[in-house]
Each structure stands twice: as structure tokens, then as C-alpha cells.
């Protein structure tokens, strides 16, 4: 009996800076998986900036994804699944390209996954990207980067001249991957002068942050931020206080550097759980996030946008209708201000004078379902929309299905991924009660826009640019429409809110 699944054929060999890689070919797509873009960040390289890739002898097998970064196993939709190998040696990326020849180099789309900087992997089935390759005549790249304590807690104050420790390691990984793309992507048929970075959630925070990192300038030329939380970048004083709590949870107060560099991954994850459980005094923060370190990241991204110091590349940016509702679900609970008491505490620590005017506009809503998502994702994204010096196309994703409506989450955080990655026929639970036709039509429109943007720097559809006067925003729904200044009352209530440092 013939298998239902096509067995991949050996693909072409490509020479990279590390050596030769042999890919696989399946359904008109060449794929090269698990390509190292930096040296393994293990041993003396733990908590160090990524180092140049270690060359290999012979031809490397590119048929399998590399190990996923160290993380909790919390489900394959946003994480690494339960069976994928996991290892600190995870700084790899994957490249997919059309099998058809081309006389011109193709645009490159580089994907950064989400997961609150604590879970995620480029090997998750959600992020295959084959639709962009087949439909868009593009080269698709997905990147692993370090997560959690290994990637985003700031332990730099514990370093010594003999054993330095750098900050923002996950962000540095992403920059190293973009440098690899610059130096290698032409061998895969890609155009190093037409690179679009895009991501969702933590991946979108990465996008909006990279727009403000001086050393990332010139490594990409367009950007798409899907549900970014641009304000989830914190000052070094706060970040180092979180690092100190982590060291205590690890039991390494006597010799923090030794404890950090010799702990097992299991011990590192255990300390991260303790840190997470002790952050109740700082609602609406995540300790695993980029830090304004005065080195790689000289200032807060929102401040850089508003001062005109962000890279002025074309930008698509938007959020979903009900961002915060995802985090009410069991096993996905996060502190997105899911109670009035937590919100009051957050305002007391940030700008108490704005508390009453903000809370007043949510009086007629299910409180915990709306304010948290607006605080973390929507309003900071609006600040980017109105401040960015390059062309901006703004959206709000509203499409829901009967199942999502019945669950009470509607178009919540992450739901646009089904359209972007063409998953209408791969997630039957989502359309169990109907809505598949609408989702199929949505994925066609969204992919058309994303692909055209990668090729030309503009969306394919009629989509006016955003500016601070008209605030024209595309509402992605069963029938797309354009609105001027959607949720104006909420925006005015939040106006002037700066958040944590």
C-alpha cells in the first residue's frame, strides 16, 4: 500500500559559511533544516553573545530540524511539543525555497516565533511557511533563538573580565541569524537586499525592538509585527533585580556566576518557575524580555520610535480584536491584568493619575477580558503606528469562528496565525461548527498582502497608510473594511500612559 505521505527526496547541496548542507525536496519546495548560524552556546559560551559558526567536514544532513531551545513543554501550538529533542545547542535556522528556477533573486521572509520569550521553536508545525514559498515565490527562513533565563534575563552584572556575561542574548541571536542571512541567502536563491522580518507576540516584540537596535540596521528592509507588545522592554535596574531573584531561586547567592554557568537545564527551568511565581508585586510585566542595556539596546524602543530614531523601513503592524482573552484559558494563564485589583496595582506602580480615566472606558465590558490585552498589545502598538517615520499599514484582526465565539475568546491573541500560515484545513477543531470558508478566504487575502509586501514594500490590497491625523486602520474580517481611529475612546483614555520603565 502506498503511503499517504510523500517521502521527501534528497534536495540540492548548498555551500554556507559553515560548510555544505544537503536539503530535501517535497511538493515543489526545497528545504534545508537545522543549519547552524552560530557556535553552540554551551560550556564557556553559555550566557555569552553568539560566536561564529563552527565549520563542519563533509556534507551536513539538512533533512531534520535542530533541537529546540531549553523551555517548558506546554504544547506545540506555541512551544516545542512533547517529542521534539531539546538542547542548549539550538542556534539553528531553516530555509525553504521554490524548486522552480528563477532568473532573479527572490525576496526573503524571516520568521521569529512567539511564546513570551520562554517557549517556542522554529520547528513547530504552525510555522512551516510553505505557502509563502509556493504562492509567493519567496525564500522563507525560520530561526531558533535562546529563551528564558538562557536568552533574556540580564546576568551581565555577575560577569568578570575573565568570564564575561552579555545581556539580550536572544536578541543577539536574532541579529546573528540576520547576519547569516545577509552572507548566505544568495546561495539559496534569496535576495539579501529584500529581507522582511516578521513575527507574532514575542516574535513581534523582537521585530519592533530590532527596528531600534543600531547594529541591526541594514540587515532587513521591511517589517511585519503581529500582536507586538512594544512596551515589554525594561530598564536595567529592574532587569537586574529580577536576575537577583532568579539567582536566589537557583540557590546560587554565594557564587552566582558559578551557579549560573554550572546549573543543569532542569535546574534553570526550576528557578524560572520560582521567579515567575514571585512576581505578583509587579503586575503586567514579564521578566524574560529585552532590556535597555545601554549597549546593544541603548534606549527603550517606544522612546526610540517617538524620537524618530527607529529604522524607517516600511511596516505592517496590528493586533487582534480580543488579545487578552487567550490568557484566561487553562494552562495558558499569564498575568495580563486579569482583575481590577491587579490593574489598580499596576497603575499605582506606574501612573496612578491615569487610573480612573482608563478604567472608566471599560465599565461596560467584561473587565478582565479587554483591558489587559489593550494595555499589553494594542495601545503600545498604536504608539508605534503614530510615531514610526517610515510608511505604516495598520490592521486589527477581527475574524472569529463559531467555536471561538462559543469559547468566549473570539479573535484573540494568536488567531491571525491561522490565516498567515494557511491553516484553515489543518486545524479542524477551529471550524468544527462552521467558518472554514471565511478562514480560507482570509488566508488568501492576508498571504497576498504579506507576499506583496515582501516583494514590493506595499500590501497587495487597497490599504491606506496610517498617520496620526486619520489613523486609517484595516479591519480584517469576513468582509474587510477600513476605519478611522477605531476605539478612539479607549485610545484617548490611555493617551499619555508610559507604563513601567
Active site residues: 201, 323, 413
Q: Which runs of E-coded beta strand occur in 335-413?
A: 392-397
**Axis crossing angle, helix 265-277 with helix 236-250, rounded to the nearest 10:** 120
- In angstroms, the CA 454 to CA 476 distance is 19
For residue 377, what is the DSSP state? I
Distance of CA 243 to the CA centre of its chain: 22
Q: Provide the 10 A C-beta neighbour count for residue 215.
A: 15
Spatial CA neighbour of 459 closest among 393, 373, 380? 393
For residue 374, what is the DSSP state? I
**Residue recorded with cell 516578521:** 198
Task: Name 356's Cβ contacts closer than 8 Å, sequence gap at least 6.
Answer: none
- In angstroms, the CA 18 to CA 39 distance is 10
Q: Which runs of E-coded beta strand occur in 208-313?
A: 222-226, 234-235, 291-292
- In angstroms, the CA 82 to CA 430 distance is 22
For residue 424, what is the DSSP state? T
Q: Provide the 10 A C-beta neighbour count for residue 230.
A: 29
Cβ atoms of 327 and 377 within 8 Å: the answer is no
What is the bridge-based pairing of β-strands 139-143 and 106-112? parallel
Spatial CA neighbour of 98 closest among 194, 34, 23? 23
User: Rounded to whole angstroms, what are the CA distances from 38 to 70, 108, 163, 249, 290?
Assistant: 17, 20, 19, 30, 20
Q: What is the DSSP string of 128-139?
A: --HHHHHHH--E
- In angstroms, the CA 457 to CA 194 distance is 9
Cβ atoms of 430 and 439 within 8 Å: the answer is yes
Amino acid at each position: 500500500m502506498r503511503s499517504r505521505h510523500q517521502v521527501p527526496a534528497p534536495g540540492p547541496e548548498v555551500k554556507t559559511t559553515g560548510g555544505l548542507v544537503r536539503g530535501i525536496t517535497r511538493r515543489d519546495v526545497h528545504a534545508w533544516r537545522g543549519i547552524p548560524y552560530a557556535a553552540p552556546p554551551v560550556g564557556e559560551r553559555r550566557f555569552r553573545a553568539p560566536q561564529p559558526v563552527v565549520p563542519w567536514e563533509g556534507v551536513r544532513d539538512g533533512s531534520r530540524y535542530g533541537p529546540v531551545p531549553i523551555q517548558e513543554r506546554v504544547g506545540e501550538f506555541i512551544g516545542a511539543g512533547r517529542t521534539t529533542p531539546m538542547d542548549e545547542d539550538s542556534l539553528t535556522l531553516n530555509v525553504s525555497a521554490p524548486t522552480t528556477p528563477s532568473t532573479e533573486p527572490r525576496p526573503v521572509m524571516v520568521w521569529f516565533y512567539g511564546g513570551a520569550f520562554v517557549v517556542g521553536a522554529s520547528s513547530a508545525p504552525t510555522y512551516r511557511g510553505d505557502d509563502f514559498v509556493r504562492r509567493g515565490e519567496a525564500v522563507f527562513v525560520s530561526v531558533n533563538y535562546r529563551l528564558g533565563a538562557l536568552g533574556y534575563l540580564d546576568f551581565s552584572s555577575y560577569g568578570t573580565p575573565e568570564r564575561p556575561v552579555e545581556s539580550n542574548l536572544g536578541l543577539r541571536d536574532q541579529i546573528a541569524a540576520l547576519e547569516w542571512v545577509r552572507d548566505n541567502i544568495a546561495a539559496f536563491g534569496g535576495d539579501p537586499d529584500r529581507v522582511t522580518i516578521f513575527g507574532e507576540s514575542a516574535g513581534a516584540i523582537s521585530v519592533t525592538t530590532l527596528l531600534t537596535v543600531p547594529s541591526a540596521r541594514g540587515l532587513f528592509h521591511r517589517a511585519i509585527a503581529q500582536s507586538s507588545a512594544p512596551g515589554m522592554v525594561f530598564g536595567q535596574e529592574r532587569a537586574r533585580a529580577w536576575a537577583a531573584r532568579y539567582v536566589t531561586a537557583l540557590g546560587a547567592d554565594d557564587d552566582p556566576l558559578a551557579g549560573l554557568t554550572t546549573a543543569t537545564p532542569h535546574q534553570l527551568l526550576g528557578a524560572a518557575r520560582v521567579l515567575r511565581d514571585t512576581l505578583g508585586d509587579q503586575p503586567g510585566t514579564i521578566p524574560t524580555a529585552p532590556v535597555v542595556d545601554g549597549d546593544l539596546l541603548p534606549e527603550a524602543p517606544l522612546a526610540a520610535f517617538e524620537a524618530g530614531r527607529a529604522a524607517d523601513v516600511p511596516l505592517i503592524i496590528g493586533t487582534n480584536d480580543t488579545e487578552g482573552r487567550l490568557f484566561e484559558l487553562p494552562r495558558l494563564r499569564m498575568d495580563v491584568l486579569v482583575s481590577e485589583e491587579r490593574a489598580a496595582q499596576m497603575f499605582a506602580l506606574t501612573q496612578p493619575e491615569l487610573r480612573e480615566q482608563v478604567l472608566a472606558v471599560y465599565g461596560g465590558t467584561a473587565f478582565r477580558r479587554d483591558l489587559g490585552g489593550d494595555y499589553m498589545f494594542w495601545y503600545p502598538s498604536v504608539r508605534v503606528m503614530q510615531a514610526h517615520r517610515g510608511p505604516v499599514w495598520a490592521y486589527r484582526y477581527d475574524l472569529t469562528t463559531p467555536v471561538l465565539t462559543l469559547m468566549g475568546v473570539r479573535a484573540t491573541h494568536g488567531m491571525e496565525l491561522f490565516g498567515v500560515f494557511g491553516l484553515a484545513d489543518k486545524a479542524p477543531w477551529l471550524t468544527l461548527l462552521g467558518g472554514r470558508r471565511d478562514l480560507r478566504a482570509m488566508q488568501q487575502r492576508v498571504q497576498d498582502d504579506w507576499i506583496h509586501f515582501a516583494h514590493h514594500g506595499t500590501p497587495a490590497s487597497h490599504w491606506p497608510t496610517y498617520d496620526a491625523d486619520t489613523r486609517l486602520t484595516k479591519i480584517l474580517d469576513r468582509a474587510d473594511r477600513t476605519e478611522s481611529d477605531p476605539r478612539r475612546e479607549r485610545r484617548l483614555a490611555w493617551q499619555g500612559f508610559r507604563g513601567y520603565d
